[in-house]
Copies of this chain bind each other. A is one copy, B any other.
């Protein structure tokens, strides 16, 4: 399957998995951010990891969609006035701008339970042992050991300059971004009954690609436009936020990014299967930042 086939499949299933039920306000708020048009990078990676390692894509669809729901949850809460206070996301008003702050908090909360519920309800055939493994990955990535650890340290580093900014920035990138990449790729691998070595390789790929992706995001925050990105840009720089470009400058950031993406190609050789989709993800990042 090509990347666009995956995106179409994910979009169709996200719509199916999220019927609007009573009380409608909460289900509408949940679905609003989840179904904003996007690249569906995390679910696509989950499905492709499953395929590359010999699994059946269909088996990974509920997990892939649940990860997109979790990703939307982090966006909804990160955009809140008490966090990054963003008005736009993917070119549309943010969740709290449309549904109010209380509903945005609750929609995020609800997604944190709804997403794993979608996995359990729709993946019974994987068996309980595998389901528990997938859920363990989910809880680890979604909670205080994962994305939230990254977000907390990010907020702290804004309030007071960290003693070791390079190490702190690595920590933030690893948890805020790479942990969801790891969740996507590792669960795809688990569903495909991958070996321990294959899971190690896919984890290394996820970590490297995740950090690269975040560096690209930092670069784009400087060089892109609202129209291209669908969100307000330059805020990080103006807020004196710790970013790759603020720490290393634009040119060195681009070099580091190119280097990490080369590493990704190297790791991919361990999969013993060609992946047009991973190739396309990497070349897409290169193209966007112009390297």
Contact assessment for A144 and B105 in the assembled complex, using a CB-CB cutoff below 8 Å:
no
Known: A128-B132, A144-B27, A152-B26. A102 touches B82 (CB 8 A): yes
Are B129 and A143 within 8 A (Cβ)? Answer: no
Main secondary structure of the interface of A (DSSP, over half): helix
User: Which stretch, A106-114, A220-228, A258-266, A283-291, touches the partner chain B?
Assistant: A106-114
Given the contacts A80-B105, A110-B143, A112-B109, A132 and B120 also touching, CB distance less than 8 Å: yes
**A106 touching B152, Cβ below 8 Å:** yes
Residue contact A106 to B26, C-beta cutoff 8 Å: no
Most buried by B among A109, A114, A120, A156: A109
| A149 adjacent to B23 (CB under 8 Å) | yes
Is the C-beta of A116 less than 8 angstroms from some C-beta in chain B? yes
Binds B, one of A53-61, A133-141, A188-196, A242-250: A133-141
Asked whether, in the complex, the Cβ of B25 is within 8 Å of the Cβ of A156, the reply is yes
For window 63-113 of chain A, which residues contact chain B by CB distance below 8 Å? 73, 77, 80, 82-83, 100-103, 105-106, 108-110, 112-113
- Shortest Cβ distance from A272 into chain B, in angstroms? 30
B residues in contact with A129, CB < 8 Å = 128
A148 at the binding interface (Cβ < 8 Å): yes
Task: Report the nearest B residue to A149, measured CB to CB.
Answer: B23
Whether B26 lies near A110 (C-beta < 8 A) is no
Q: Provide the residues of chain B in CB contact with A21, threshold 8 Å.
A: 144
- Chain B residues within an 8 Å CB radius of A77: 105-106, 109
Please, which residue of chain B has its CB at the minimum distance from the CB of A113?
A: B143
Of B117, B139, B152, B156, the contact of A113 (CB 8 Å cutoff): B139
Q: Which of A137-179 contact B (CB under 8 A)?
A: 138-140, 142-144, 146, 148-149, 151-153, 155-156
Nearest-Cβ distance from residue A126 to partner chain B, whole angstroms: 11
Contact A139 B152 (CB under 8 A): no
Shortest beta-carbon distance from A44 to chain B in Å: 23
Partner of A120, one of B73, B114, B136: B136
A211 contacts chain B at the CB level, 8 A cutoff: no
Q: Is A30 interfacial (CB 8 A cutoff)? A: yes
Chain A stretch 8-31: residues in CB contact (< 8 A) with chain B: 21-23, 25-27, 30
Residues on B with C-beta less than 8 A from A73 are 109
Task: Choose among A77, A80, A127, A143 the residue with the greatest number of B CB atoms under 10 Å from its CB.
Answer: A143
Chain B residue at minimal CB-CB distance from A150: B23
- List chain B residues, Cβ under 8 A from A149: 22-23, 26
